[in-house]
Chain A
Amino acid sequence: MQMLISTLIDGLNLGSVYALVALGYSMVYGIAKMLNFAHGDVIMVGIYSIFVCLNMNSLPVPVTMLICVAVCAVLGFTVEKLAYKPLRGSPSLSVLITAIGVSYLLQNLALLFFKSERRFLQNFLQLGSIQIGSFELPVISLVIWGTTLVIMIVLNLLIKYTSMGRAMLAVSEDKGAAQLMGVNVNRTISITFVIGSALAGVAAILYAAKYQNVDPYTGSVFGIKAFAAAVFGGIGSIPGAMIGGLSLGLIEALTIGFLPESLSAVSDGIAYALLVLMLILKPSGLLGKKKVEKV
């Protein structure tokens, strides 16, 4: 029982962070119709920014967190402006290749500045745990769940009730028609990138608090899984990203926790196998809409 609960908690932690990252993939895909493969690497840069802040050690933790989110948001904005914006209207394959290029660029910059060895973030956000009966619940779990939940709610409100949200919905469905309504399509896409990257910043904080380490490939491995979660939930859908992320986190934790040791080593494989199964049964993902292609 104890074992099951702690495994579920672990899965929800991991899943919440996946969900935040999946959200970044999903929003950008929904609005710009591109797969931003560099999204995971933005998280990696965010974690390194925490590492740098910790080494300057006089910085208060909230300032460190703010810096991390800001670094990610600025990085997302810059990448969009320099690499993706000039390709607006180009075939999606060119944009995809560019995104992969940006991903390698960020990884190599990290290699250059921080070397390849794993760095440790000592004592970042160590919050202890609270005792519930015979059970210890880590406070960081509560922080992770709370943060993810609040972000989901705020994003939904933002999209439903603000003019920017309406612009995003319009652009995601029909860029030309959106422009005819007076929506600045380019700006809407840029804003979406900044929001997605800021979310990557939040994910970086949660990741750093939970795992306390980083290397130049942390982001891309984690990002690919979160991308799989976004596809699983239905890419382009916000609740889909949430559900996809949580499912993947739980599946991963349960396979590691309960399968025989020889199988738990391939927990990633099992997660991906489920993804493939999902795509065979419902190609648009769990909550994805079936798109009718119009001529």
Chain B
Amino acid sequence: MSMLEIKGLQVNYGMIRAIKGIDFHVDEGEVIALIGANGAGKTTILHTITGLVPAKAGSILFEGTELTKVQPHKIVAMGMAHVPEGRRIFQELSVFDNLRLGAFTRKDKAEIAASIEMVYQHFPRLLERKNQIAGTLSGGEQQILAMGRALMSKPRIILMDEPSMGLSPLYVSEIFNIIAEISKMGTTVLLVEQNAKKALSIADRAYVLETGNIVLEGDAKELMQNDDVKKAYLGE
């Protein structure tokens, strides 16, 4: 059984059918990339999985539980974290408070403290700035904070939405290294990216999305060689 299985998913955005009935799955331990142009529906899919947007039809099975029937705020505690587009860290709170909120659903104080130490170890920059107000961090640092915050819930799967958006090339590379590292730590990753080249380079498999439909899927390395993908998304 797949860790995350999406079947016949349809989502409306107002009057517009944004997702037109898609199927895909994510197996435990995989890095899966969803690539596609702006407006293809990538973000909508992630929002629907974690309940920010209701599904119109179809099913989202996470480890055997139907997520469309779960109250959205209960999804984190089931082991699914979501790093939203634009990072959406709490700008007015300190780095530490942001991380603390990431562990909102956990109760054991000693374990939470250990998780914060773990995040600081992986991201020393956050330790340096732990008392700084998060809104004053650079874009790259905010993205790292958003990822650290997501790790604080001890997720088995992380959904990441455009983590490289708006970052300098140096930070883009660092962010993708971090994603690879998170995957190595044993967390499954569902990655939405416009930077298709980078995304395919770290993904196991990928799905190509066009205006609400999945038009291509397969092994990430093979997709990188696909002529259509090359032309439309890799700029070759």
Instruction: Please list the residues of chain A having a beta carbon within 8 angstroms of any beta carbon in chain B.
Output: 163, 166-167, 169-170, 173-174, 176-185, 289, 294
Contacts and interface: CB of A to CB of B under 8 A. Distances in A.
Interface of A is mostly: helix
Interface of B: 50-52, 71-77, 81-82, 84, 86, 88-93, 97, 100-102, 104-105, 149, 153
Contacts of A166: 97, 100-101, 104
Given A166-B97, A176-B52, A176-B84, A181 B92 contact: no
Given A182-B76, A182-B153, A184-B73, A177 B90 contact: yes
25 contacts: A163-B104, A166-B101, A166-B104, A169-B92, A170-B90, A170-B101, A170-B104, A174-B88, A177-B84, A177-B89, A179-B51, A179-B52, A180-B50, A180-B76, A180-B88, A181-B101, A181-B102, A181-B105, A181-B153, A182-B75, A183-B73, A183-B101, A183-B104, A184-B71, A185-B73
A173 B104 CA distance: 15
A292 to B, nearest CB: 9
Contacts of A169: 90, 92-93, 97
Nearest to B82: A180
B52 A173 contact: no
B187 to A, nearest CB: 16
Contact of B93 (A173, A182, A185, A294): A173
Given A181-B149, A184-B71, 10 more contacts: A169-B93, A173-B91, A176-B52, A176-B84, A178-B101, A180-B84, A181-B101, A181-B105, A183-B101, A289-B92
B148 to A, nearest CB: 13
A182 B90 contact: no
A294 B92 CA distance: 14
Given A170-B90, A173-B90, A174-B90, A179 B97 contact: no
A182 B91 CA distance: 18
Contacts of A181: 76, 101-102, 104-105, 149, 153
A182 B92 contact: no
A19 to B, nearest CB: 23
Contact of B104 (A176, A182, A294): A182
Contacts of B74: 182
Contacts of B101: 166, 170, 178, 181, 183
